[in-house]
Amino acid sequence: MSPEQSQAHGQSSAASSESPSAAPSASLSFLSGGGMMGAMMRANDWSASPLGDPATWPQALRTVVGLMLNSKFPMFVAWGEGLGFLYNDSYISILGDKHPAALGRRFHDVWAEIWHDIHPLIVRAMNGEASYMDRLPLRMRRHGYDEQTWFRFSYSPVRGEDGSVAGMFCACVEMTGEVLAQRYRDEENERLVTLFEQAPGIIAVLRGPDHVFELTNRSYLALIGHRALVGKPAREALPEVEGQGFFELLDHVYQSGQPFVGHAVPLRVQRDQHDPNAPLEERFIDFVYQPIRDAHGKVSGIFVEGSDVTQQKQTEDELRAANRQKDQFLAMLAHELRNPLAPITTAAQLLQRGQMDAPGIRRASDIIARQAEHMTALVNDLLDVSRVTRGLVTLSREALDVAALVHEAVEQVRPLIDTRHHALQVEIAPQPLHVEGDRTRLIQVLSNVLNNAAKYTTPGGRIVLRAGIEAECVTVSVRDNGQGIEPPVLPYIFDLFIQAERTPDRSQGGLGLGLALVKSLVALHGGRVEAHSEGPGQGSEFVVHLPRLLDEAPSPDMPEAGAAAANGGLRVLVVDDNVDAAEMLATLLEMSGYAVTLAFNGEDGLASAVRVRPDAALLDIGLPDIDGHELARRLRAMPETAEMTLIALTGYGQVEDQQRALKAGFDHHMVKPADLGKLLELLATVGRAG
């Protein structure tokens, strides 16, 4: 054998010795370059797999697997009757803990928990029909627990060399993160829409130069009346707003790009959409027109936000009106108090000179007494209306005959009626006119109404008072032909201090409290009061309605007590830090036959009481050292003064003041300036008891 032959034979032997190992390597070349899964497939023990050794795989499977392994898209192949499972590197994250055991296993065993969802699609693919699913929900167990997932994928049939379907191929993308993110966005948008809808302020979004409604919330619709707005230009949607300046403002904001802020701007809209002829209703709004800009900075719309401040505006107007009334009242009060003070001061100065004769002294004294009585009436009116409006008045209810009440009221007002030369006509129905109420307060109501008619009717006028029955009420009406009431004032005629608006010249006097008191007292009796007038110069009519009492007749009036008995030289202690007031009261009491001792503070009063042992003591409450309540308690605590009659004489006249005085040990409570007649009558009862 030649060297060449020997060399050729050696090469041939070498080739023959290498061929058994070289053949398998060449048969698995489709797995090369397949990343981690390609290496795993080459190294895997395929003895237990329905797919068998890769060297025996048919060409169609080899081709599909080669393409799959070299793709960066998540893919898998299921092949053969057992649907053996093969997948690429990108599919590993989808398998989770199922990797690497899933390689080569049956498809059913890999995804048993979702088999009922995907099996129909697998059957279709194995029958030669491809399918595509987007965001199919699948509940997988790939990390040791069930989790909801969503996938986008396609199942495609894979045919063998004979053309029959031998397996299926899947390309998929997990959409779980995107679905959850979209769901969160949807929920967030829904939450924002809900907040937008439920926002207490008015909100709307307008688009384009025609201001087309894109969004509105409930508050906006409540403001302008529930109507279809979305998709309509503002001028078409709200035609009644034309000419009120709002559309022009929208145009300006859109063109200039500058926001606009409005405060308490009046808006007239037709809120009642069921009646096309309904009148426009005026509302007041705070609002902002804020331009909306696109990505290029160009104005594309307007955001409208604001609040319906109608109620707030009305409240502010009412407060301003009340403040004006308060200022007018204070000016009126100053006027009314100065009026009586002027003659009182003049009379006092004349008396100080000591040059007046007896008739002059009498006239000056009468002036002081009359004007002081007038001032007392003013203060009492103030206190009375305060107590009534605060609900501090307790009614003494009894069955009453309205006819008798009318006669008593007429008797009280008769001097004013006669002075002004009015003709008064009283008409009382023949039926029983019985009501339940407080005699004093109802007489006060009727006399106030009658007094009002007498004051505001020019001298020589005519007043008609009628009492009768209307439905379930007893009515008392007072009509006059006086100055009447202006229409703007009429709705507020029963409010406090309105009298100032009716008579700016203050020619009639008074504080404007009478009708307010009438309204409150009638309401306390379960009734109502009305005012009617055709206008200035047309007179007026006031009608009081009271619930009628059907089953009980009023009890007859008890005779009033007779005049007080003689005082019999009663000893009286007067304690008051106002020296002038104490001395004047002492003078009056001494002129009535009482023995009076004066003290100007609590300690002196206590010492005087021990020394003199008075039968009665008149104590001021606001003393400089110890107050009247404490003084009364100390007097009650000492045996020598425990039984004396204690009378509180004070400027504090509220119900709680009376209760506090009685609790401190006082027997009686009187408000300054005290009515001398009542005080003397009270002291007379002390004398009789002694």
**What topology is assigned to 10-179 in CATH?**
Beta-Lactamase (3.30.450)
What stretches of 277-396 show up as alpha helix (H) in DSSP?
310-353, 358-389
pLDDT for position 551 = 63
Quick check: helix, strand or coil at residue 48? coil
- CATH number of the 199-308 domain: 3.30.450.20
Into which CATH architecture does domain 397-547 fall?
Answer: 2-Layer Sandwich (3.30)
pTM: 0.46
Backbone φ and ψ for 249, nearest 5 degrees, come out as: -65, -40
Domain residue ranges in the chain = 10-179, 199-308, 314-389, 397-547, 571-689
Residues present in the chain in total: 690
Task: Specify the pLDDT at position 584.
Answer: 79
CA quadruple 412, 416, 417, 418: dihedral sign: positive
Provide the CATH topology of domain 571-689: Rossmann fold (3.40.50)
pLDDT score at 386: 67
Residue closest to 409 by CA, chosen among 284, 518, 510? 518
Q: What's the CATH number for 314-389?
A: 1.10.287.130
Q: Give the contacts of 407 (CB within 8 A, at least 6 positions apart).
A: none
- CATH fold match for the domains 10-179 and 199-308: yes
Determine contact, residues 53/46, Cβ cutoff 8 Å: yes
Going by C-alpha positions, the residue among 328, 309, 331 that lies closest to residue 320 is 328
Residue 553's pLDDT is: 56
Task: Return all residues near 564 (Cβ < 8 A) that are at least 6 apart.
Answer: 680, 681, 683, 684, 685
Nearest alpha-carbon partner for 251 in 215, 210, 221, 292:
210
62-71: list long-range contacts, CB under 8 Å, 24+ apart: 62/30, 63/30, 64/158, 64/167, 64/169, 65/30, 65/31, 65/34, 65/41, 66/30, 66/31, 66/34, 68/169, 69/31, 69/33, 69/34, 69/35, 69/37, 69/38, 69/41, 70/33, 70/34, 71/171
pLDDT score at 29: 87
Candidates 524, 530, 426; CA nearest to 468 is: 426
Q: What was the pLDDT predicted at 1? A: 42
> For the chain, which ranges sit under pLDDT 70?
1-26, 328-329, 331-339, 342, 374, 378, 381, 384-393, 496-513, 551-569, 687-690
Determine if residue 654 is left, alpha or beta; phi over 0 gives left, psi from -120 to 50 gives alpha, anything else beta: beta
Distance in Å from the first CA to the final CA of the chain: 176
Residue with tokens 């009061």: 529
